[in-house]
Amino acid sequence: MTYSDRERVTSGTLDLEPFIPVISGSLIVGVTQRRVVAPCNPDHRPLKWTAERVGERLVEAFRVVARIPNSTRPGGFKNSMPAYTHDAGDLNMQVGSGAIIDTYNEHNRVRIQPSTQEITLMEQAISWPMEYFKNDKMLALAVTGWAEDVVWNRRSTASFGPPPVVLEALQILADDLNRNGIRVA
């Protein structure tokens, strides 16, 4: 491998796979070179904001909001009675009706809290509609309402695309983000 090849490897314009030694017995016969590849976008993000990407980020933001624990206040008044104990008859009836599976699933549910980076990205994206639609509050509410609806009703953005009004608003947001030089994340 030459010095210029090493520079191309570090810059990402040369594929390392072709430099495999060709071995015959115990002797290295030679090194073959196949092709040069262009640097790629490892995250498969668009280079500019698009309406689809803005919609994905808003939906991601509301998914992060849904995962934030809501223990921000004191517990308040609670029942002072002890927890109900299930006897064998209760458990048999729950097994027969399938309710025990729901109970166990609720008790064994794992809640993964969002990371600091996810919260930072959420705070950035969730402010876009109100920031860029200062003069049109109804459009801002339509965009945030659509994103909330996708999250709370557990719909996918692929199967539940935005209505035409929201799609136009997302395109306006994408154009404004591109104009302001906001990096695609």
CB 171 within 8 A of CB 86: no
Unique residue bearing structure tokens 């262009």: 38
CB atoms closer than 10 angstroms to residue 132:
19
User: Which residues on adjacent β-strands are paired with residue 31?
Assistant: 21
Sign of the Cα torsion 166, 172, 177, 178 reads positive
| pLDDT tens digits, one per residue of 113-169 | 899 999 999 999 999 999 999 999 999 999 999 999 988 887 776 666 789 999 999
Unique residue bearing structure tokens 């599976």: 101
CB 184 within 8 A of CB 46: yes
Pull the structure tokens for residue 149. Answer: 């609806």
Domain boundaries along the sequence of the chain: 1-40, 51-69+90-179
CA distances from 81 to 74, 78, 84, 107 (A): 19, 9, 9, 20
How far apart CA 35 and CA 134 sit, in angstroms, is 52
Q: Which of 48, 31, 62, 32 is nearest to 146 (CA)?
A: 62
| pLDDT tens digits, one per residue of 61-116 | 999 998 888 766 566 666 777 777 778 888 888 888 878 788 777 777 777 889 99
State the pTM of this model: 0.60
